[in-house]
Structure 1
Amino acid sequence: MRSTVRLTASATSALPRWLLFAICIVYAASGLFGRDPWKNEDAASFGVMWTLANGGAHDWLLPNLVGKVITATGPLPFWLGALCIRAFGPWLAPSNAAHVLTGLMFYGVCAFVWYGTYLLGRRPEVQPFKYAFGGEPSPRDYGRTLADGALLILLASFGLAERGHEATPQVGQLVCTAMFLYGLVRALDKPLQGALWTGIALGAFALCANPPLILALFAALLAVVVVVRALDTRKLLGVAIPLGLVIAASWPIAAYLAYPDEARHFLGDWVGSNIAYFRGSPKPALFYAAKNLPLFTWPAWPLAIWTWLSWPDLRRAPHIAIPLSIVVPLLVLVVLQQHETNLLFLLLLPPLAVMASFGLPTLKREVINAFDWFAVLSFTIVGGFVWIVWIASETGFPAPIARNLSRLVPGYRPEFNILSLIAALVVTGCWIALVRWRLSRHPKVLWRSVVLSGAGTTLMWVLLMTLWLPLVNFSRTYRDVATQIAARLPSDYTCISPVRLGDAQLASFAYFGKMHFAFDGADCDVLLRQDTQDYNPPASLSPYTWKLVWEGRRAADRDERFRLYVRVERPVRTTPAARHDTAH
Structure 2
Amino acid sequence: MKPVRLPAAATLALPRWALFALGLLYILPGLIGRDPWKDDAGSFGIMWTMAHGSLNDWLVPNIAGLPYAEDGPLAFWLGAICIKLFGWLLGDVNAARVSTIAIFVTGTVSVWYTAFHLGRRPEAQPLRLAFGGQPEPNDYGRTLADTAALIYLGCLGLLLFSHETLAVTLQGALVAYFLYRSVRYVEAPGMRNAVLIGLSLGGLILTRGWLTPVTLILTLFLGTRFLSVPPGRTLSHLAVACAAAVAIALVWIAPATLLEPYGQAPVAGWIAWNASQFGLPGWTSIKSFFRIGIWFFWPALPFAGWAIYAWRRQSHMLHIVLPLCFTGALTLLVLCDPAPENGDLLKLLPPLAIMAAFGLPTMKRSAINAIDWFSVMVLTMIASIFWLFWAAKLTGWPAQFAKNLLKLLPGYKPEFQVVPVLVAACATIGWFFLVYWRVSRRPSVLWRAVVLSSGGLILLWVLVMTLFLPDLNYSKSYATVARQIAEKLPENSGCIDSNVGQPQRASFAYFGKLPFAGVTQDREKCDLLLLQDSVKIKDDREALRPPKGRNWKLLWEGRRATDRDERFRLYQRLD
TM-score tier by shorter-chain length is over 0.9
What's the CA shift for 1:345? 1.4
Aligned partners of 2:531 and 2:544 also within 8 Å: no
Partner of 2:573: 567
Aligned partners of 1:330 and 1:344 also within 8 Å: no
Partner of 1:60: 58
Q: Where do 1:479-498 residues align within 5 Å?
A: 479-498=479-498
Q: Deviations over 1:283-302 (max 9, x none)?
A: 12221221121101100000
Q: Where do 1:99-498 residues align within 5 Å?
A: 99-192=97-190, 193-230=192-229, 233-234=234-235, 236-259=237-260, 262=263, 265-279=265-279, 282-314=282-314, 316-339=316-339, 341-498=341-498
Q: Which moved more, 1:516-525 or 1:339-348?
A: 516-525
Which one-letter code corresponds to 1:288 in the other structure?
Answer: S
Partner of 1:536: 543
Which one-letter code corresponds to 2:205 in the other structure?
Answer: A
**What secondary structure sits across from 1:312 in the alignment?**
coil
What's the CA shift for 1:471? 1.0
Partner of 1:526: 528
Q: Deviations over 1:488-528 (max 9, x none)?
A: 122232221212x2110010011111112226872122111
Aligned partners of 1:183 and 1:196 also within 8 Å: no
* Whole-angstrom distance in 2 between the partners of 1:299 and 1:261: 47
Q: Where do 1:83-98 residues align within 5 Å?
A: 83-98=81-96
**What secondary structure sits across from 2:467 in the alignment?**
coil
What's the CA shift for 1:556? 1.3
What's the CA shift for 1:277? 3.5
Task: Provide closer, same or farther for how the CA distance between residues 547 and 316 of structure 1 changes in structure 2, counting only shifts above 3 A.
Answer: farther
Aligned partners of 1:28 and 1:107 also within 8 Å: no
Partner of 1:80: 78
Q: Deviations over 1:53-76 (max 9, x none)?
A: 011111111211111211211111
Task: Provide closer, same or farther for how the CA distance between residues 261 and 173 of structure 1 changes in structure 2, counting only shifts above 3 A.
Answer: same
TM-score, structure 2 as length reference: 0.94
Aligned partners of 1:195 and 1:235 also within 8 Å: no
Aligned partners of 1:185 and 1:194 also within 8 Å: no
Q: Which runs of 5+ in 2 are unaligned?
A: none
* Whole-angstrom distance in 2 between the partners of 1:485 and 1:539: 17
* Whole-angstrom distance in 1 between the partners of 2:381 and 2:216: 40
Which one-letter code corresponds to 1:346 in the other structure?
Answer: L
Q: Which moved more, 1:217-226 or 1:342-351?
A: 217-226
What's the CA shift for 1:365? 2.1
TM-score, structure 1 as length reference: 0.93
Aligned partners of 1:497 and 1:526 also within 8 Å: yes
* Whole-angstrom distance in 1 between the partners of 2:166 and 2:545: 34
* Whole-angstrom distance in 1 between the partners of 2:243 and 2:547: 57
**Which of 540, 557, 560 is residue 554 of structure 1 equivalent to?**
560
Task: Provide closer, same or farther for how the CA distance between residues 456 and 285 of structure 1 changes in structure 2, counting only shifts above 3 A.
Answer: same
Which one-letter code corresponds to 1:442 in the other structure?
Answer: R
Report how many residues are paired: 564
Which one-letter code corresponds to 1:81 in the other structure?
Answer: G
* Whole-angstrom distance in 2 between the partners of 1:136 and 1:52: 55
Which one-letter code corresponds to 2:234 in the other structure?
Answer: T
Aligned partners of 1:187 and 1:236 also within 8 Å: no
* Whole-angstrom distance in 2 between the partners of 1:230 and 1:145: 28
- Aligned-residue CA RMSD in angstroms? 1.9
What's the CA shift for 1:439? 2.6
Aligned partners of 2:204 and 2:210 also within 8 Å: no
Task: Provide closer, same or farther for how the CA distance between residues 273 and 234 of structure 1 changes in structure 2, counting only shifts above 3 A.
Answer: closer
* Whole-angstrom distance in 1 between the partners of 2:559 and 2:280: 33
Aligned partners of 2:2 and 2:314 also within 8 Å: no
Task: Provide closer, same or farther for how the CA distance between residues 235 and 451 of structure 1 changes in structure 2, counting only shifts above 3 A.
Answer: farther
What's the CA shift for 1:260? 7.7
Residue 504 (str. 1) matches residue 503 (str. 2)? yes
What's the CA shift for 1:333? 2.9
What's the CA shift for 1:235? 5.8
Q: Which moved more, 1:161-170 or 1:254-263?
A: 254-263
Q: Deviations over 1:187-210 (max 9, x none)?
A: 133323432331111111111112
Which one-letter code corresponds to 2:569 in the other structure?
Answer: R
Q: Deviations over 1:71-125 (max 9, x none)?
A: 2111111111101001002211101100111011111111111011000001111
Q: Deviations over 1:405-437 (max 9, x none)?
A: 121111222232211111111110111111122
Aligned partners of 1:191 and 1:235 also within 8 Å: no
Q: Which runs of 5+ in 1 are unaligned?
A: 570-584
Task: Provide closer, same or farther for how the CA distance between residues 210 and 95 of structure 1 changes in structure 2, counting only shifts above 3 A.
Answer: same
Q: Deviations over 1:129-170 (max 9, x none)?
A: 112332111100110100000000001111111200111111
* Whole-angstrom distance in 2 between the partners of 1:380 and 1:46: 35
Which one-letter code corresponds to 2:543 in the other structure?
Answer: N
Structure with larger Rg: 1
Which one-letter code corresponds to 1:451 in the other structure?
Answer: V
* Whole-angstrom distance in 2 between the partners of 1:228 and 1:416: 60
* Whole-angstrom distance in 2 between the partners of 1:431 and 1:330: 36
**What secondary structure sits across from 2:498 in the alignment?**
strand
**What secondary structure sits across from 1:408 in the alignment?**
coil
Q: Deviations over 1:5-61 (max 9, x none)?
A: 111111111112211111012211111111211112x10100000000011111111
**What secondary structure sits across from 1:465 in the alignment?**
helix
Which one-letter code corresponds to 2:501 in the other structure?
Answer: G
Which one-letter code corresponds to 1:50 in the other structure?
Answer: W
**What secondary structure sits across from 2:89 in the alignment?**
coil
Aligned partners of 2:50 and 2:58 also within 8 Å: yes
What's the CA shift for 1:211? 2.9
**What secondary structure sits across from 1:159 in the alignment?**
helix
What's the CA shift for 1:386? 1.1
Partner of 1:575: none
What's the CA shift for 1:350? 1.0
What's the CA shift for 1:281? 6.4
Aligned partners of 1:412 and 1:474 also within 8 Å: yes
* Whole-angstrom distance in 1 between the partners of 2:165 and 2:406: 30
Aligned partners of 2:202 and 2:247 also within 8 Å: yes
